[in-house]
Structure 1
């Protein structure tokens, strides 16, 4: 029970940190003001139309707050990679649109490596104990086969 609680605590903490980062934006042209039609917090795109809209919003916002957009992008990418949430291919395309093809490629390679390492560490710290405690027969069968 403790590994599951620990994993949920880490997930909740990272989710809360990403939520704060995306809602406490410095004031900008479109992202910071909710009076305008386009003013809203950043979101994870689920299709190409949303990706195009998010790219335009972040490109305009990046003109004034380049470091904050970089921090927000890196945090969102690491969150998705670290918890193995599908859909980071949209973020790869967004990186190319925001930072250019070469810097976007380099950034995605580094963030994918760091995020996969975080995912591995989370699974080694919490996942092994969870799998062994909830599926002991399956683990024993797999160990015999290996």
Structure 2
């Protein structure tokens, strides 16, 4: 009697599978997506991110309401050099007439975009050079870039791990292993990463809290390490009319100079490792 029961059991399972196609393997064309392809945030994490975005958006909107009236139709985030030149011409007199209000609006916009990884901060850096000159523009952009990166750091500490692991799993593992090797000279290594184009700044902002880089190291490396590239960008803003493409900012010569500066910071790490192996 055992055999008939087994046959009936197999038949029952076949019937259930036919009635419930969704119970097939995930790799089938009609099945569910693999877990790695699904949106990484839980419902709670998604609403936290949405809440932070909503609160900061309200704050940014309130700052705009306190600013003197202007032609808001001409105010838009530049997406190319042509947009940036028109924005610069429109804001030149406004920035001179209302310097405090303009800087407040500029800083709020820059930090907001940096926090939520909205593209376009490069154009705002060029705008700072065009409106305020090399030194003032450098100070202004350095402050905003550091504040925005720090804000992004803490946001990533709250909900960033699943996103970074979803978007860049291999790059995150590589970064984690490199950080583990250089714990004793972590500031030097972070300065090297900030100065050179070894890793994108966006990835560094998001991944740093995940690989447990202390905030004071992250802050100092960002504040100091972004100065060379920021200075190049701000200086380019002084000659905005002659700039033909954003790609001209970082030509081969500029990248070589940044790499040499970065090498000066990582050289102590290389020297120490060499002494260990001798």
- TM-score, structure 1 as length reference: 0.76
Q: Which residue is 1:96 aligned to?
A: 129
Q: Quick one: distance in 2 between partners of 1:25 and 1:94?
A: 19
Cα displacement string for residues 24-67 of structure 1 (whole angstroms, at most 9, x for unaligned residues): 5313xxx1xxxxxxx22532111111111111221111222110
Structure 1 segments, 4+ long, off by >3 Å, are: none
> Which structure is higher in RCO with an 8 Å CA cutoff and minimum separation 6?
1
Q: Quick one: distance in 1 between partners of 2:58 and 2:84?
A: 23
Q: Quick one: distance in 1 between partners of 2:63 and 2:76?
A: 12
Aligned pair count reads 129
Bigger radius of gyration, 1 or 2?
2
Name the Cα RMSD after superposition. Answer: 2.6
* 2:133 aligned with 1:122: no
* 2:97 aligned with 1:64: yes
Cα offset for 1:106? 1.7
Contact 1:83 1:119 (8 Å CA) reproduced: yes
* 2:72 aligned with 1:40: yes
- 1:1-146 correspondence to structure 2 within 5 Å: 1-27=43-69, 31=70, 39-40=71-72, 42-128=75-161, 130-131=162-163
Most deviating of 12-21 and 115-124 = 12-21
Most deviating of 13-22 and 84-93 = 13-22
Contact 1:3 1:127 (8 Å CA) reproduced: no
- Aligned residue for 2:127, secondary structure, equals helix
Q: Which residue is 1:36 aligned to?
A: none
Query: For structure 1, which runs of at least 5 residues remain unmatched after alignment?
Result: 32-38
- Aligned residue for 2:63, secondary structure, equals helix
- Aligned residue for 1:90, secondary structure, equals helix
Q: Quick one: distance in 2 between partners of 1:50 and 1:69?
A: 19
Q: Quick one: distance in 2 between partners of 1:64 and 1:108?
A: 21
- TM-score, structure 2 as length reference: 0.42
Query: For structure 2, which runs of at least 5 residues remain unmatched after alignment?
Result: 1-42, 178-278
Cα displacement string for residues 96-145 of structure 1 (whole angstroms, at most 9, x for unaligned residues): 112111110121112111111111110111223x449x96xx79xx5xx9
Cα offset for 1:93? 0.4
- Aligned residue for 2:97, secondary structure, equals coil
